[in-house]
Amino acid sequence: MATGRNGELDSWLPSLIGRLPESKITTDLTHCGLQAERTHDIASLYADELDWTSVKEIWYDERVANRSSRNSAEKPLIAIRARLQSAGEGLPSVPVLPEILDQCRNERDQAQVLFLYLVNHDGLARYVVHEYLRRLMKQGPSALNFETDTVLNILDEFRDKAGEPLEYSESTQKRWIQGLRSALRDIGVLEGKTETAGQPPKVGDVPLQVAAYYSWAQNGDEWLTKPIGWLYLFQSEEYWEPQSKRLAGYEGWTHHEARSRVWFEPVDDFYTMLAEGSA
């Protein structure tokens, strides 16, 4: 399998220093974490309306009716909408997402699905996650140290495509780190409110399949040698074979083997099947 040990890691899990345009960098994590319940509500509204303008009006009206300010309602909607709109072909479309979240066994499984949307959309989160995953692949779980100073050093090394560093104050960066750690607790990488040493989490059936489909959409038939979706859920190489065996037991995947090569492909209408609970 392709890992950092044989030099292939840079081709599919590169460092993003100098690669991201400024427009892809946000501090949304300072005020909007994964928020599974809110995301479910917003996606459900869109599934009903199929129009973001209508979703916005209904969302604001409901929040104001519950005595929320327009500003407090606006920030999470903007952040969550941006993540959902950026899903592309690899992640569930917005109309089908609520049903897929409903198939999850618990809130952690839901958070693991939504973490993929976060990393897919948010350039700063993706940059930091890539840096940690590159270390994880080379050094093992001991690399998952999310102490404030460690993450600050990673943020300090960031440069956008124009070669510019982050322009956020240290206090903003520390609030962003708190948001990142909150998301990592939600998906099971961190345990407890004060823990900063991470570990690969157990991945639920639904997020396992969503991450596999995301990997397949990114890397085609070779995805099993570079399962980027599983890696985004902090599943390092020793987990890939056991996760593949789990995948073989699902109805939504076809298993192929030829000349000592094994690969999996999703069935047609995979996300529809997953939403119905039949994948």
Please state, in angstroms and rounded to a whole number, the distance separating the CA atoms of residues 199 and 189.
5
Tens digits of residue pLDDT in 167-216: 999 999 999 999 999 999 999 999 989 999 999 999 999 999 999 999 99
pLDDT at 3: 45
Do 151 and 128 contact (CB within 8 A), yes or no? yes
Of the candidates 238, 211, 26, the residue with the CA atom closest to the CA atom of residue 111: 211
Tens digits of residue pLDDT in 24-46: 999 999 999 999 999 999 999 99
DSSP 8-state code for residue 145:
B
Question: What is the overall mean pLDDT for the chain?
Answer: 93
Percent of the chain at pLDDT exceeding 70: 96
For residue 6, pLDDT beyond 60? no
- Helix (H), strand (E) counts: the chain: 13, 2
For residue 268, pLDDT beyond 50? yes
For residue 5, pLDDT beyond 50? no
Q: From start to end of the chain, where are the E strands?
A: 253-258, 261-266
